[in-house]
């Protein structure tokens, strides 16, 4: 009887242990939690970055636009404001970073950069984002800048000016508006209209050859341009430079013939200029003055009230000699008269290549003003 009782107790104990033991053993082989948190509840999942339309190629010299990216995090939610973008220019091996063009700028808005015109043509674009826990998400793209060595086409629009033809050229009178035809420039690759970049250069013609010295220049020929040109024989050339630095110009040189006006000793377009006394000339002892002389002609001089003929001629030629410095003369609108003589305040307005005046002030580039004496 005693033996049977012991066996019954042992059976109950074994049964109880077997049930709890199975639970314990099975717990050892349970799969870990598939959520982003580890067994200690730490967030280990990086944000997910979404961005589309990232360019993979462009032309050298192009302005590259990087699209805005968004990002979401399993814990923080929308973390788009934390997205950063970096653009690195790579070395010739296509892997090693040469320098960063953009470094960790806001990636949730558009960013732009210009593809360099040097030999380093490969770029790496990286979008990154960190959540509060420090997990970093990243997505990258490769960009190849293709060297643009193609020149485009430049066509003069002959029909833009009535009666104009390239063969017959342009004719006009000094001091009056002369119409220069518009031009159309198409850049390659891509058939890009760059007519707004067209420039026209006027060269003085000497002994049947084009002078190497630039006489004048104008910009943007999307429309007909009105200009004023001193009397002489010239040749007009249109040219354009694209974003990659390729330059091309018209093969033909348009003849330009400008005659002297019938009036003599006449100052043109005085109302188009600033009529002030340039203090810079006073400081250097070269203030310009003019008056009507005893022959009824308009005369010029420097600081003295009655300059010699040499002083007059020298001052005038210095202002009107287009291949040196100044290309314009301005006259005061309100002409004062003293003792029967009329005085004009004279100042140069504009200079070759937009250089500064003698008083070191930056000057403008107005239409030409000139004088026959």
Q: What is the pLDDT of residue 5?
A: 44
More reliable by pLDDT, 115 or 265? 115
Distance between CA 110 and CA 125 in Å, rounded?
Answer: 13
Burial of 200: CB neighbours in 10 Å, binned 0-12, 13-18, 19+: buried
Q: What is the pTM of this model?
A: 0.42
- Does 168 lie in the same domain as 138? no
Q: Are 60 and 116 in contact (CB under 8 A)?
A: yes
- Does 181 lie in the same domain as 103? no
Q: Which ranges of the chain does DSSP label H, i.e. alpha helix?
A: 2-28, 279-283, 309-320
Mean pLDDT of 173-186: 83
Q: What is the pLDDT of residue 116?
A: 74
- Does 202 lie in the same domain as 218? yes
Which among 328, 326, 221, 321 has a CA at the least distance from the CA of 267?
328
Mean pLDDT of 53-65: 86
User: Which range, of 61-70, 187-196, 315-324, 329-338, averages the lowest pLDDT?
Assistant: 315-324
User: Residue 72's pLDDT band (boundaries 50, 70, 90)?
Assistant: very high
Q: What is the pLDDT of residue 49?
A: 96
- Does 294 lie in the same domain as 236? no
- Cα distances (angstroms) measured from residue 87 to each of 60, 65, 122: 15, 11, 10
| CATH number reported for the structural domain that contains residue 203 in this entry | 2.60.40.10
- Does 216 lie in the same domain as 304? no
Q: Is the pLDDT of residue 43 over 60?
A: yes
Q: What is the pLDDT of residue 271?
A: 34
Q: What is the pLDDT of residue 190?
A: 65
**Which SS3 state, helix, strand or coil, does residue 120 take?**
coil
Q: Are 85 and 126 in contact (CB under 8 A)?
A: yes
- Does 116 lie in the same domain as 99? yes
- Across-strand partners of 202? 216, 236
Q: Is the pLDDT of residue 370 over 50?
A: no
- Across-strand partners of 201? 217, 237
Distance between CA 303 and CA 96 in Å, rounded?
Answer: 67
More reliable by pLDDT, 28 or 80? 80
Is residue 289 one of the residues assigned to a domain? yes
Q: Which domain holds residue 164?
A: 153-259
Range 321-326 contact pairs with CB under 8 angstroms and sequence separation of 24 or more: 322/215, 322/216, 322/230, 322/352, 323/213, 323/215, 323/352, 324/352, 325/351, 325/352, 325/355, 326/350, 326/351
More reliable by pLDDT, 373 or 49? 49
What is the overall mean pLDDT for the chain? 65
Distance between CA 102 and CA 125 in Å, rounded?
Answer: 9
Is residue 16 one of the residues assigned to a domain? no
Domain C-terminal end among 107, 126, 146: 146
- Does 306 lie in the same domain as 231? no
Q: Give me 82's structure tokens.
A: 């934390």
User: Which range, of 20-24, 143-147, 163-167, 320-324, averages the lowest pLDDT?
Assistant: 320-324
Domains held by the chain: number: 3
Domain C-terminal end among 259, 284, 308: 259
Distance between CA 297 and CA 169 in Å, rounded?
Answer: 34
Q: Is the pLDDT of residue 337 over 70?
A: no
- Does 185 lie in the same domain as 122? no
Q: How many CA atoms lie within 13 A of 4 on its CB side?
A: 1
Encode 49-85 in three state secondary structure.
EECCCCCCEEECCCEEEECCCEEEECCCEECHHHCEE
Is residue 301 one of the residues assigned to a domain? yes
Q: Are 59 and 123 in contact (CB under 8 A)?
A: no
Q: Is the pLDDT of residue 6 over 70?
A: no
Q: Is the pLDDT of residue 280 over 50?
A: no
- Does 195 lie in the same domain as 132? no
User: Residue 311's pLDDT band (boundaries 50, 70, 90)?
Assistant: very low
Domain C-terminal end among 130, 146, 162: 146
Distance of CA 170 to the CA centre of its chain: 32
- Does 242 lie in the same domain as 158? yes
More reliable by pLDDT, 31 or 98? 98
- Does 278 lie in the same domain as 245? no
More reliable by pLDDT, 24 or 165? 165
Count of CB atoms situated within 10 Å of the CB of 96: 9
Q: How do residues 91-147 score in pLDDT, each as one tens digit?
A: 877 778 888 888 999 988 999 888 875 556 789 999 999 999 999 999 999 998 887
More reliable by pLDDT, 363 or 95? 95
- Does 157 lie in the same domain as 136? no
Is residue 11 one of the residues assigned to a domain? no
């Amino acid at each position: 009887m005693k033996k049977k009782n012991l066996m019954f107790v042992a059976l109950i104990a074994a049964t109880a242990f077997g049930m709890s033991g199975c639970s314990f053993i099975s717990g050892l082989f349970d799969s870990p939690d598939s959520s982003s948190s580890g067994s200690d509840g730490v967030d280990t999942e990086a944000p997910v970055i979404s961005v589309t339309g990232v360019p993979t190629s462009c032309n050298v010299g192009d302005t590259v636009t990087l699209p805005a990216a968004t990002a979401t995090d399993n814990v923080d939610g929308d973390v788009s404001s934390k997205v950063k973008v970096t653009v690195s220019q790579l070395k010739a091996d296509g892997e090693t970073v040469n320098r960063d063009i953009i470094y960790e700028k806001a990636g949730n808005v558009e960013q732009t950069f210009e593809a360099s015109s040097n030999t380093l043509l490969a770029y790496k674009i990286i979008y990154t984002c960190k959540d509060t826990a420090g997990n970093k998400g990243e997505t990258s793209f490769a960009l190849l800048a293709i060297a643009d060595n193609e020149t485009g086409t430049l066509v003069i629009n002959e029909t833009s000016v009535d009666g104009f033809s390239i063969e017959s050229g342009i004719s006009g009178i000094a001091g009056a508006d002369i119409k220069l035809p518009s031009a159309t420039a198409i850049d390659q690759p891509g058939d890009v209209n760059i007519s707004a970049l067209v420039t026209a250069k006027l060269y003085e013609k000497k002994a049947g050859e084009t002078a190497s010295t630039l006489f004048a220049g104008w910009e943007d020929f999307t429309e007909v341009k009105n200009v004023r040109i001193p009397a002489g024989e010239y040749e007009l050339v249109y040219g354009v430079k694209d974003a990659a630095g390729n330059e091309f110009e018209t093969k033909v040189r348009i003849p330009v013939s400008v005659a002297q006006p019938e009036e003599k000793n006449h100052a043109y377009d005085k109302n188009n200029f600033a009529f002030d006394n340039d203090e810079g000339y006073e400081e250097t002892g070269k203030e310009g003055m003019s008056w009507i002389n005893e022959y009824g002609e308009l005369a010029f001089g420097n600081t003295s009230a009655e300059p010699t003929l040499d002083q007059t001629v020298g001052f005038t030629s210095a202002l009107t000699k287009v291949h040196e410095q100044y290309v314009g003369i301005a006259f005061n609108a309100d002409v004062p008269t003293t003792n029967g003589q009329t005085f004009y305040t004279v100042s140069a307005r504009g200079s070759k290549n937009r250089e500064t005046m003698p008083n070191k002030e930056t000057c403008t580039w107005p239409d030409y003003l000139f004088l026959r004496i």
